[in-house]
């Protein structure tokens, strides 16, 4: 366009006039022209490391061979390279190790099917399923205490409750023993045969002592899904509402002697 002649003056327009008409600066035009004549290979900006990828790979392999572990992550390799006065970026170390399959082996998470919770934990009759759970609250006289409770999934009745300072596997059984004595007429082998106990995966409930006691009484362990409180909604609701408000204004001794003060109805839940 700059070499085109004007029909009136028979002279070329020139680059300056054409660029002014297009709204472009001459420096932009000359820079683009220079890049087109002498194309440069794109390079990473910033300081350049004196080590090539091949040299870096050899040093990484040497560090891995000297390590007592089966594999190392790229952060540890990068730190050990710095101790050897090899300056490079963590991203580059990660890229080189990934390209050569040198990263530490990782366990892949298995796909878990979605739980719809379409079932129900509401039974057709009383004394078919009890839920048990624990909570921590604070008393005026004894300080922090743990409250264990057991709930009937049909009547939503608190069949047993127990408050202690130390939440052990032995104390977790006390609400169930209270319920067995009251609802099954006594405590003995197979006294509560057919009763299912819904509980979470706490250490007290998963202990051998707790599970053996359930089998002794004829109960069946029915653990809820891991990290799924819907499976024990009755007990969770009871321990998260009633005990906290009652215990905050009473001492541990009073609560242990009058557990009926903590009893109350709870709402239904579904699994």
Query: Against a cut of 0.75, is the pTM above it?
Result: no
Owner of token pair 């009633």: 242
The better pLDDT of the pair 192, 228 is held by 192
Return the structure tokens found at 12.
């070329």
Range list of H helices, 23-71: 26-37, 53-66
- Beta pairing partners, 150: 132, 160
DSSP track, 171-204? HHTHHHHHHHHHHSSS-STTTTTT-EEEE-S-HH
Please state, in angstroms and rounded to a whole number, the distance separating the CA atoms of residues 147 and 235.
11
Class of residue 44 by CB neighbours under 10 A (exposed 0-12, middle 13-18, buried 19+)? exposed
Residue 8 makes CB contacts below 8 A (sequence gap 6+) with none
Q: Indicate the SS3 state at residue 77.
A: helix
> For 260, phi and psi rounded to 5 degrees?
-65, -20
Domain 129-262 bears CATH identifier 3.40.50.300: no
Whole-number Å distance between alpha carbons of 57 and 93? 9
Q: What pLDDT does 14 receive?
A: 74
> Do residues 131 and 234 touch, judged by C-beta distance below 8 A?
yes
**Tens-place pLDDT, residues 46-104:** 777 788 899 999 999 999 999 888 778 899 999 999 999 998 999 999 999 999 989 88
The listed range with the strongest mean pLDDT (96-110, 113-127, 254-268) is: 96-110
pLDDT value for 59? 93
Residues of the chain within CATH 3.30.420.10 domain(s) are: 129-262
CA–CA dist 209, 206 (Å, integer): 8
pLDDT tens for each residue of 205-224: 999 999 999 999 999 998 88
How remote is the C-alpha of 182 from its chain's centroid?
Answer: 40
């Amino acid at each position: 366009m700059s070499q085109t002649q004007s029909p009136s003056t028979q002279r070329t327009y020139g680059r300056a006039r054409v660029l002014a008409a297009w709204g472009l600066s001459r420096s932009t035009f000359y820079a683009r022209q220079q890049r087109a004549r002498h194309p440069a290979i794109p390079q990473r900006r910033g300081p350049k490391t004196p080590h090539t990828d091949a040299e870096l790979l050899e040093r990484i392999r040497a560090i891995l061979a000297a390590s007592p572990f089966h594999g190392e992550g790229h952060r540890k390799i990068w730190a050990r390279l710095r101790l050897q006065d090899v300056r490079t970026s963590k991203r580059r170390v990660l890229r080189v190790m990934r390209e050569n399959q040198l990263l530490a082996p990782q366990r892949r998470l298995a796909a878990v099917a979605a739980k719809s919770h379409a079932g129900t934990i509401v039974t057709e009759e009383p004394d078919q399923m009890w839920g048990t759970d624990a909570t921590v609250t604070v008393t005026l006289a004894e300080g922090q205490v743990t409250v264990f409770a057991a709930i009937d999934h049909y009547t939503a009745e608190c069949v047993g409750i127990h408050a202690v300072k130390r939440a052990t596997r032995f104390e977790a059984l006390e609400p169930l023993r209270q319920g067995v004595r009251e609802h099954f007429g006594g405590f003995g082998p197979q006294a509560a045969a057919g009763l299912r106990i819904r509980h979470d995966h706490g250490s007290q409930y998963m202990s051998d002592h707790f599970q053996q006691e359930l089998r002794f009484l004829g109960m069946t362990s029915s653990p809820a899904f891991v990290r799924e409180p819907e499976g024990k909604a009755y007990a969770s609701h009871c321990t998260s509402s009633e005990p906290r408000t009652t215990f905050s204004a009473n001492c541990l001794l009073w609560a242990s002697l009058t557990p009926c003060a903590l009893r109350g109805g709870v709402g239904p839940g579904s699994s």
